[in-house]
Every structure is written in structure tokens, then in C-alpha cells.
Chains A and B, each alone.
Chain A
Amino acid sequence: MAEKKLRQKMNERAASERKKDFKEVPLGYTPEQAIAEAKRCIQCKKPLCVKGCPVEINIPAFIKVIAEGSFDKAAKKIKETNALPAICGRVCPQEEQCERECILAVKGEPIAIGNLERFVADYERETSNPKLQTSKQPKTSKSKKIAVIGSGPAGLTCAGNLARLGHQVTIFESLHVTGGVLTYGIPEFRLPKAIVNLEVEYIKSLGVEVKTDMLIGNVFTIEELLKDYQGVFIGSGAGLPKFMKIPGENLDGVYSANEYLFRINMMKAWQFPESLTPIKIGKRVAVVGGGNVAMDAARVSLRLGAEEVFLIYRRTKDEMPARKEEVHHAEDEGVVFKSLALPLEYQEDGNGWVKLARCQQMKLGEPDASGRQRPVPIEREIFDIPVDTVVCAIGNSPNPLVPQRTPNLKTEKWGGVIITEDGATSIAGVYAGGDIVRGAATVISAMGDGKRAAKAIHKLLA
């Protein structure tokens, strides 16, 4: 058995430096670090880590070859099951997935599986011939035409898998840029857009056709698509922003996180006026919520010149659904956590602009059905935070447009499309996966869904 060694820490740029720009925060492992970390893995016969990965990457196998210094082989091994390792290594909530199950977590620190995955993917990208190797499958009589709605991780994965099986795939994306949340939601300093673009180019190199500016439901209905395509996959995501329905939410200076991040990531509002889309980030910004979206909004605000950023969350830091790493990053960079607080209303400055957030002080009470302690108000403890910008990041619901325009598509009350185990919807030949099915979830679960649906579609059409 390998002797007990500490988990390799990834180097990061100092908070004081990084909070001024949009360059990536973690710097990645060096080859020496990667090998040292890989050597900590005890190569379990029954690896529990694999069970924790929604796409069941053969984790011990790829780690073994890293330990031997064969990074290219490791990349190949991962890509057998996961087409987007450079993305997953960066954004997966590993502490709730593969790394939580790792046997070493019982007594010490789990293997840094995500960091290793990221290292391998980056190594491959940086050392390989930049010209993409196309591995287009020849079209055969068995090739079918398949339409994929949405170019987020679910759609991209489904399309890539079907193309590799020899099918003719067209992705319809309503926005002007591909990538879904990977592009418009997650900021550059967490997921460089060059990486997302490369993955999209790779999928295109497999023969997938991508049509942007195509809002399915309006341009074509699903019924119409089924006349030209033998199969349809819906990966339209959860992009409908929730609001709290409290007074003052429509004041100027109050943004949904989607609007805020869309202006910045997608429309490059920080380059105004070279880029013509404006944004106004005040001196004191309040971000409401405790998930990845809230962390991103808060950290973006600091980078764009806010002097103080408050994160208002109704439970405590321990209950925040965001990745632990992002919570730490936000804290290091100086985001002020106002835990156990719930906004009651926003007040204006007399000119229609928000000037303060009135909040209710909360405490943790009895556990609710999910086992988490329920936040309950402490009577009469109400406080004000003076702010000039508010970003509401309390979650997103499934995009309602496709279900609304597709009468036979069965959905849950909360809007999620209902699917069977292999991803089939209530309409023959139509599959769905990712956030449109789960509500706001994760990149890797969306990819898992896309992959599973591709398999099922292939089988159905064979």
C-alpha cells in the first residue's frame, strides 16, 4: 500500500491580483504534481469513485497511466467516456461526486480527481497539433438525421455521440453563440471560453452542423422537425430566471443573474463602448443566493470595479449549494457573506434606482424534508444594507418555450420535461436531458443525459 501522502494543492493566483482581471484563478498542476497526486491513488479493485461520476469515467485506469507519466494515454482513457474533460475538471462539484466516494476520503483527503482530469485535458490540448483531428464517421445507409435543440453540454454531448455513431446531426441554438451556460453563464476566469470553443469545434469536426439564431418552437415546432428528422433531442436548459416577487424588484439596478452574466459574458459589456451593450455595476453590490450562479455574479462584480460585494443567503455558508472551491475563492477575493438573511424589499433613491436592500435576520430551525435545517425569521430583527446594484441569483426554471409550443410533451408541474430511464419523452422519437429535465443541475449530469439519450436514439433507429 502506498504511504500516506498529502493531497497536492493546485497553485492559484493571489486574490489581490486575480480580482482585477478575468484570467483563470487556479493555475493547474505541474506534471510533477500530477504524478505525485496520481501515485496517491491506491487503485481500488472495486473503485467507489467511479460510482460517484455521473458518466462513470474509468478513474483508476486514467490515474494509473498518469502515475506512469503517459499523459496522452490518460487523455484517451478519459475521452472514452467523457468528451469534455477540460470543462468537467474545472466545473464539476467533485466534492459531491467522484471525490466524495473516493475511499481515501474516509480517513483523509480524497484523490484530486477533478484536478487530474483538468491537467490531462490541458496537457493534451497544449501539446497536440492544434489542427483538429477529424474522426468523421462515413455516412452509411444506416445514418439517420437527428435534430438537437440547444448547444449546452447536454446538446453538445448528445450530438457528438450520435455523430460518432455515424448519424447526421443538426444542432439548433437560439442564441448567437454556442455553449449554453458554459458560454453565457460561467465567467471566463472559471472556464476560459477558448476551451468551450475548442470543444464546439471538435463536435463540428465530427460532422455536426450547428445553426445559431434558431428558436425552436417559433421557427420550427417539434412536430415539424419530426418530418425532416428521425429523432429529436431537447437540451434547451433551465434559463428562466426566478424572482422573489418582493417590492422593488423592478427598480433600475436590480438584475437577474442571467441578465447580469449575459451582458458581461455574452455581450462583453465590460468592453463598452467597443462592445455596445452597456452594464452598470455600482459601488455596493448585493448578490442574493448561495449557488454557483451567485458566486459567479459576486466575483464578476469585484472584477468590474465594485468596492463592496455582499452575498445575501438565507442559510449559512455550510449549506450553500455552490462548489466549496468557489465559496473559498469568493471569500478570499473579499466578498462579504451576509448569511442567515432574506431580502424583504428594495427601496429606491427617489429616481427609480435601487438604494437599499431591507433584510430579515434568520436563524436555523428544525430540519425540513430534505434534512437541511430550515431557515426561520427572527422576529423584529430587520436590517438594511445600502446598495446601488442587486443581482438576484435564486435559481432558474426550465425554459418553458418548447413545452408551451409542443402540446403533447408531458411536463412536471414545475416545468421539467418528463422522461423515461433512457431519456424518452411522451412523444415518440423525442428525447430530452439536462436542465430542461432536472431543473438547474450540473454540467456533468447534463452530459450524462445527452450521452444516454444518444445511445437510446441510436438503438431506436437502428
Chain B
Amino acid sequence: MPKILKKEKLAENISRIIVDAPHIARVAKPGNFIVIIPTANAERIPLTIADADVEKGTISIIFQVVGGTTRLLDSLKVGDEIPHLLGPLGTPSHIEKFGTVVVIGGGVGIAEIYPVVKALKAVGNKVITIIGARCENLLIYKKELGEQSTKLRVTTDDGSCGRQGFVSDELKDIIAAEKVDLVIAVGPVPMMRVCCEVTRPHKIKTVVSLNPIMLDATGMCGVCRVTVGGQTKFACVEGPEFDGHEVDFADLVARLKPYKDMEKKALDHVCKLVEKLRG
């Protein structure tokens, strides 16, 4: 079973784990994700492969604790074994020399863009990275992304770090100042939606990474279906990246909400469980 080799807290409620999974590390590409079942009875949840080290045979995963299953994942410690880890999944990001690429990460999406930034830079793109969070304490991977990007821009809602405002404000300024060939935006749905609205009048292709509810994540259940260009697509296999100008965001938002009330119950249940375990 895949073992947790390292664990760090990156910010309040955001952790990174490094897991021993050579068969996944060997073939993981930027944009791929895994499905994890951290403990018996937990859900199957999708998480992006934030980095992979082929030589060491490890992958890193960065996750935010939002509900029951991520809470359980966070209760695991170094040395613990993960009962089920499946991957790599999804269609990898399309990497080639586009010219100037603006890559935007919001919230825990910042972790998800790291491998993409790295790969785009490696093939010779000018990569301008914008990261944004509510406040400085929630900004992760600033140093790492700074090292990989041609330029790094930071925004926070409260102005505690970088520009006060949203990633989309920064995106507007960049587009006004120079020719941008591609935009990639990964983060909360409203953020991705706004970024698409910013680029639409300029006809700059904008790739977003969608995060619908998933179950098997191998194309067998259809819960991850999203509407793109009027067509139904299974995000776990055909995505999660799609052309943002074609995505029906309203449909995505609606399909993310059916279990909201139950998710709270699940989290309460898990919190009690974890407390009991601590004794």
C-alpha cells in the first residue's frame, strides 16, 4: 500500500503529503490527478498530482480540508498507509510552446498549477503566474512558483500580500500591457468564470480546470458530466481541463450542490470520529 513519507502543513487547513507511489510517479503528467480513499468508509475523492518525482517514485498532493474525507486524510500521519490510491487520471494539460502564457491559481488551485507552470516554462514559454488568496496566511507555494515563473504576481483580498484585489484585476492589467497567447486558470468556480469573462472580448484562449463531483473517476458513472460547447463531457476522462469560453458554469455550479446538507453531517461525524481516535 502507498505510504505517506512526508507531511507538512502549508497554511491553515492546507497540507501537503508526499506519497510513495512509483507506478503513478512514472507516468504522471501535469494536469493529471489521483483518486484517494484515505480510510475505510471514506469517499473516493479526486486530488491533483502537485508534483511527481520519477527517481524517488513519489508524488505530492496538496489538499485543503473542506469536508469529511479531506479531514480524514489530514488525520493520517507519516508512515501511515493509504488503503486506495488510483492514478494518474484525466487527460494531461496540453504543453507546447505557445509564447506568453498567463497561469492563474486561486486558493488551493495554486498547488494545482505548479506542475503546469514548470512544464510550460521548460518548453520555452514566457510564463506569467498570478496567484491569489484571501490573505497572506493562505498563500501557498509563493517561493516555488516564483522560482519556476518568468514573473510572479500576487493578489490578496485584504492586501496583506501583493496587490489588494482579485487575480482577474491583475490579469486585466497584463492583457492591457502585452500580448498574451494563452491563459490557464485553476481555482474556485467564480474565479475561473471571471477570468474567462476578462479574456473573452480579447479572444485569448482560456483553459480552466473543472472540479465537478466525481465518484469512480474512470468514466463509468457520469456524475462528473459537464456541459462544454453545448455537449455533455465526462470531466474525469475528457477533462478536467476545458476551453473556458465554452464551459457552462451555471450547470457546473448547480451540479456541485446536491449534497451540501449531507456534507455537513459527514464532517460532524468525522470530527467526532477523529476526536475519539485521539482519545
- Give me the interface of A with B, judged by CB distance under 8 Å: 174-176, 212-215, 218-220, 239-241, 243, 245, 249-253, 255-256, 258-259, 262-263, 267-268, 271-278, 280, 352-353, 399-401
Contacts and interface: CB of A to CB of B under 8 A. Distances in A.
Given A219-B27, A276-B41, 4 more contacts: A220-B23, A262-B215, A276-B266, A280-B258
Contacts of A256: 221-223
Contacts of B37: 176
A274 B69 CA distance: 12
22 contacts: A174-B218, A175-B218, A176-B83, A213-B84, A213-B85, A215-B218, A218-B87, A219-B27, A239-B218, A239-B219, A239-B220, A243-B232, A250-B251, A256-B223, A258-B221, A259-B215, A268-B41, A271-B41, A276-B72, A276-B266, A277-B44, A400-B219
A431 to B, nearest CB: 22
Nearest to A177: B84
A273 B232 contact: no
A176 B218 CA distance: 12
A399 B220 contact: yes
A274 B268 CA distance: 11
B68 A273 contact: yes
A305 to B, nearest CB: 15
A218 to B, nearest CB: 6
A241 B220 contact: yes
Interface in B147-205: none
A113 B44 CA distance: 40
B262 A272 contact: yes
A239 B234 CA distance: 13
Interface string B257-269: 1110011011011
Nearest to B86: A213
A253 B215 contact: no
B256 to A, nearest CB: 10
A300 B87 CA distance: 31
B84 A176 contact: yes
B258 A252 contact: yes
A150 to B, nearest CB: 11
Contact of B220 (A251, A262, A275, A353): A262
A276 B220 contact: no
A277 B223 CA distance: 13
Contact of B216 (A218, A262, A276): A262
Assign chain B's interface to a size class: 35 or more
A218 B258 contact: no
Given A219-B27, A259-B222, A399-B220, A176 B86 contact: yes
A276 B42 contact: yes
Contact of A241 (B86, B87, B222): B222
Contacts of A249: 232
Nearest to B34: A213
Nearest to A273: B269
B237 interface: yes
A55 to B, nearest CB: 27
Given A274-B41, A401-B237, A352 B219 contact: no
A234 B69 CA distance: 33
Q: Which 4 A-B pairs have the closest CB atoms?
A: A259-B221, A239-B220, A352-B254, A273-B269
Given A250-B232, A280-B259, A352-B257, A275 B219 contact: no
A215 B220 CA distance: 12
Contact of B225 (A214, A250, A273, A274): A250
A250 B235 CA distance: 13
B69 A276 contact: yes
A252 B215 contact: no
Given A250-B251, A276-B68, A259 B223 contact: yes
Given A174-B86, A273-B68, A252 B221 contact: no
Nearest to A253: B258
Contacts of B215: 259, 262-263, 267, 277
B28 to A, nearest CB: 10
Contact of B255 (A215, A250, A262, A399): A250
A316 to B, nearest CB: 28
Nearest to A242: B222
B255 A176 contact: no
A317 to B, nearest CB: 27
A252 B262 CA distance: 14
A271 B262 CA distance: 13
A393 B257 CA distance: 23
A262 B221 contact: yes
Given A218-B27, A253-B258, A352-B257, A277 B220 contact: no
B88 interface: yes
A249 B227 CA distance: 11
A278 B259 contact: yes
A252 B266 contact: no
Contacts of B268: 273
Nearest to A212: B84
Contacts of B263: 278
A278 B263 CA distance: 8
A212 B171 CA distance: 44
Contacts of B258: 252-253, 280, 353
Residue in A253, A352, A400 whose Cβ sees the most chain B Cβ within 10 Å: A352
Interface string B73-102: 000000000011111110000000000000
Contact of A175 (B42, B216, B237, B257): B216
B71 to A, nearest CB: 10
Contacts of A399: 218-220
A310 B216 CA distance: 27
Contact of B43 (A213, A259, A277, A352): A277
A353 B258 CA distance: 8
B85 to A, nearest CB: 6
B24 interface: yes
* Residue of B221, B257, B258 with most partner-chain A CB within 10 A: B221
Contact of A278 (B41, B86, B255, B266): B266
Interface string B223-239: 10101000010000100
Highest count of chain A CB atoms <10 Å: which of B42, B72, B257, B258: B258
B270 interface: yes
Contacts of A271: 41
